[in-house]
Amino acid sequence: MLQTAPDTDSRPEGFAIDTMLAAMSGVMRSILEARPSPAMARKIREQLVLMCQSYIGAATGRLD
C-alpha cells in the first residue's frame, strides 16, 4: 500500500515497511495478551499511528 500510494513523493523501502510491520505485530500481540479497556485500546491506537507516521517519515526523509 505504501509503495503504490499516489500522494507520496518518496516511497519507503521494503525493509522499512517490513520493520514497521514487525513493530506493529509486537504491539498487537501485547494488546491481545493484556485485554485492554476500550479507553486504553484507543490510546494504544493513537500511539501506533504516531509511531508508524514518525517511522515512515524518518525512513523516507519526510518528517512533517
Segment 8-25, tens digit of pLDDT: 555 678 888 889 999 999
Please state the pTM of the whole predicted model: 0.68
Is 3 a residue whose pLDDT tops 60?
no
In angstroms, what CA-CA distances link 7 with 28, 37, 40?
A: 28, 35, 32
- pLDDT value of residue 7: 57
Three cell numbers, residue 16:
522499512
- pLDDT value of residue 13: 81
DSSP codes joined into one string, 13-48: PHHHHHHHHHHHHHHHHHHHHH---HHHHHHHHHHH
- pLDDT value of residue 5: 61
